Amino acid sequence: MSTSTILDLNPKNVWKHFYALTRIPRPTGQMEEVSEYVKKIGNDRNFEVKQDKVGNVVIIKPASKGYESKPTIILQAHMDMVPQKNSDVDHDFSKDPIDAYVHDGVVKARSTTLGADNGIGVAMMLALIEDSSLEHPEIENLFTIDEEEGMDGAFGLKEGFLKGKYMLNLDTEEDGELCIGCAGGADMNITFGYKDDADIAPGDVAIKLSLTGLKGGHSGAEIELGRGNANKIMNRFLKEIVKNYEARLASVNGGTLRNAIPRESFAVVTIPEQLVDDLLDLVKEYEKLFRVEFAGIEESISFKAEKTEMPKTLIPEEVQDDLINAVEGCPNGVISMLADFPDTVESSLNLAMVHSSPEKTEVKLLIRSSSESRKAWVCSQVESVFLLAGANVKIENEYPGWQPNANSPLLNTMERIYLEKYGERPHVNVIHAGLECGIIQANVNKDLDIVSFGPTIRGAHSPVEYVEIAAVEKSYEYMLAILKELG
């Protein structure tokens, strides 16, 4: 569909900027071009534009007439996106634009992530900056960097960089929801080191195993959906063939990002030639089994095997066994639920990546929890499993959760405005995904009053990501009503 289709959507200024963002490669860690685009919008209007040492950008839009004495408001969104694509797609996120299009009331991308998380929030802020007809107090438009991997922008903020009393975070992904709290997290980086084994049994042949077609998704917002984890599923099969088919593991590579549920996994094994037909039959049986076990959740599971070039080395047998047993024993998915917020996950973990390379195999996990003590406990459990397997374990990049304040004056105002505009109350919740709010609050102003909202986005952190067009228009109108009311 033509690009003009997106550009014709309402509000036109929001979609104009979102389309421009799809043209700018902006995976985490590649923020220069998108930062320059954002800064230009402010500079073209002679607004004050600031950039701190880590790269966060603030554009200060002055108060409109009659609002000069009102408290300053912070709007906040992050500029980076999660780069995920299907393995059969030729797309380089470091240079290729996103191929976004309109379909049945949503905007989506062809076989890659769309970047609506959090590009829509950025686009809403840029549209606001450009519109001189709006009524509002002074606004500090905060565009943070590198949220998706490590929240570097939020952590880099310093006291005094912002002065706002209230903050609207535009990174919630459900229309009609007001978020007032979120989980904290921690990365676990695990390494099995070894000397590669060059002793391959005579008569063995090499088989490549390919597990594809899983949905994946956001490891916080969608962890409770029970979607398949490609690393856990592949490892289950590897344990079977190592135990019963004399298989040796040469390599395994599954998952690409710590905060995305892994959708694909690939492994190369060697096996006695006389067992190849039996192995191929077993792959077909497991594909049927996986489809039955994930019926109603995963509709497109594909598990295939084919002969491939013989590897030069193998993972040592004792390390292979320890790795497989540890991944098998490691918990994954939802660990506990919040008692005070029914149907909300308290703690979870995502066994995100298992990647082998010469002389080492790395396993990466992301633990999330609304409870700091529970987060520490889950980390301890995982650490124990992998230490027993002889791996090196590091817990890194810990960040705090955002503690909810049900008595927030900002929340009360936003609830009232929503009821008046839409005739129903918004759903106030605490989410399991990680937001920058708690970190910003801790670094900038512990008394900062924050609420998060945004349009409906589905499939974030996966190639099926889309954003609902009508919800974008509604969120933008709602944001403008809040800003006018706070004045």
Query: Burial, 363: exposed, middle or buried (Cβ in 10 Å; 0-12, 13-18, 19+)?
Result: buried
Q: How many CB atoms lie within 10 A of CB 473?
A: 16
Provide the CA 448 distance to its chain's centre, in angstroms: 25
Give the phi and the psi of residue 397 in degrees, each rounded to 5: 55, 40
Sign of CA dihedral 475, 39, 157, 153: positive
In order of 65, 145, 156, 157, 416, the CA distances from 51 in angstroms are 27, 11, 11, 10, 35
Report d(CA 131, CA 92) in Å as an integer.
Answer: 34
DSSP-derived letter for residue 461 is: T
Q: Residue 364 in contact with residue 192, Cβ under 8 Å?
A: no
Sign of CA dihedral 430, 434, 437, 441: positive
3-state SS assignment for residue 317: helix
Report d(CA 412, CA 428) in Å as an integer.
Answer: 11
Q: What distance separates the 2 farthest-apart alpha carbons in the chain?
A: 85
The CA-CA-CA angle for residues 367, 369, 375, to 5°, reads 65
Catalytic (active site) residue 52: no
Report d(CA 476, CA 454) in Å as an integer.
Answer: 8
Q: Which of 117, 138, 146, 147 is catalytic?
A: 147
Q: Which residues of 410-429 are buried (b: 16+ CB within 10 A; e: fewer)?
A: bbebbbebbeeeeeeebebb
Report d(CA 389, CA 325) in Å as an integer.
Answer: 8
3-state SS assignment for residue 63: coil
In order of 164, 180, 300, 410, 473, the CA distances from 406 in angstroms are 20, 8, 42, 10, 27
Catalytic (active site) residue 147: yes
Q: Which helix (H) or strand (E) holds 281?
A: helix 276-293
Q: Which helix (H) or strand (E) holds 261?
A: strand 260-261
Active-site residue list? 80, 147
